[in-house]
Amino acid sequence: MNGVANISLAAESRTGRIAFIDLAAQQRRIRPAIERRLQAVLDHGRYVAGPEIEELEEQLVARTGAAGAVACASGTAALIIPLFALGVDTGDAVFIPSFTYNATANAVLVTGATPVFVDVDPATFNLDPEDLRKKVAEVRSAGELTPRAVIPVDMFGAPADYAAIAAIAAEEGLSILSDAAQSFGGTLGNRMVGNLAPATGTSFFPGKALGAYGDAGAVFTQDVRNLEEWTSIRWHGTDSERKTSVRVGFNGRMDTFQAAVLLEKLAIFDDELAVRRDIAKTYDARLSSFARPQQHLPETQSGCAYYSLCVDNRDEVVARLNEKGVPTAIYYTTPLHKMPAFAEFAPAEPLAATERLAKEIFALPMHPYLTPDQVDYICTIVEAAAT
């Protein structure tokens, strides 16, 4: 489950089985339509680069307002593709939050660049612009790396502070690549995720609010001139005839079956998102007096992929919830700068907000097939355990 720890996917409670993410209920709703889509792929036989790929890209563009979209193999591929296109390489510094899944750091390392870990805002759980400014200054002062890019992560579905980050990026000459792996469907002001930064990568991992039945992702651009290069990179860096390598690339393609599944899930996405947001509002109203739910920027709508909150006695609360049949998850128990694979990039000073979050945060069930009784039951158990 993408870096999650201590997860219980489903459990029995007095309100019936509660799932953390209920893909089975969703599948029952749309299975006939999905089967028709998959049958169409079997009939035309274009299992790679089938017509469903272009249809999905067109729908993603129409939905987000982006200038273009490139379907790809995963959320990680969706970060690597624009980093390759930017020419990010050895000797470059790419600034990322430490409070995120390891794919963000891995994408940077695949290019040969160095990840520089930035603290997060303790209220929004997203990259802290002031700490970004500080980290850029430290890199410039050290003189060993060239600041090249910043990758804000829209944690749990809530867009990062792109206005503040863009101002710093403009001052420092940084490219911005949005990691929207969890925020498809979110908005900031009058713009949707996918059109909040020059380049945006998202994930369609099965557990996401819009998820495939396997790995899949997409990259969005605000400039159509990127599309030819990104499309080439995802197909081994070949030309339009797919015969000659014209740049470095890799196999970053989405298979046609995943596009077929996503097209049918897109058809019900707005209905599901509305329910997710109602559940989040209920959680906020019931739990905010004694816990710390994620705060959102003004004029922001979360994509509500997950619902996480903080309490002082996290482990006790999680144990009580699981005992009472409420599955939970913890995103994330270990910040990236504390992981062995990234230890050499750890900052000299602690990332205070990140390290506190790792000790206090946990996630509640979030999906559109929770019943009102189940949501009420979850809130009641959290309140009893946390107060």
pLDDT in tens, 282-300: 999 999 999 999 999 999 9
Confidence bin at 10 (pLDDT 50/70/90): low
pTM of the complete model:
0.95
Q: Class of 29-267 per CATH?
A: alpha beta
pLDDT, residue 1, reads 39
Q: How many Å apart are CA 25 and CA 13, to the nearest integer?
A: 17
Task: Determine contact, residues 221/67, Cβ cutoff 8 Å.
Answer: yes
pLDDT tens digit sequence for 230-279: 999 999 999 999 999 999 999 999 999 999 999 999 999 999 999 999 99
Domain with CATH 3.90.1150.10 in the chain: 10-22+269-386
Q: What percent of the chain has pLDDT over 70?
A: 97
Does 4 have pLDDT greater than 60? no
Q: How many Å apart are CA 109 and CA 106, to the nearest integer?
A: 5
Confidence bin at 331 (pLDDT 50/70/90): very high
Indicate left, alpha or beta for 74 from its phi (over 0: left) and psi (-120 to 50: alpha): beta
pLDDT tens digit sequence for 65-118: 999 999 999 999 999 999 999 999 999 999 999 999 999 999 999 999 999 999
Does 133 have pLDDT greater than 60? yes
Peptide bond into 283 cis (omega under 30): no
User: CATH number of the domain at 10-22+269-386, out of 2.130.10.10, 3.40.50.10480, 3.30.420.40, 3.90.1150.10?
Assistant: 3.90.1150.10
Domain with CATH 3.40.640.10 in the chain: 29-267
Task: Determine contact, residues 358/335, Cβ cutoff 8 Å.
Answer: yes
Nearest to 75 by CA among 229, 178, 188: 178
Task: Determine contact, residues 127/118, Cβ cutoff 8 Å.
Answer: yes
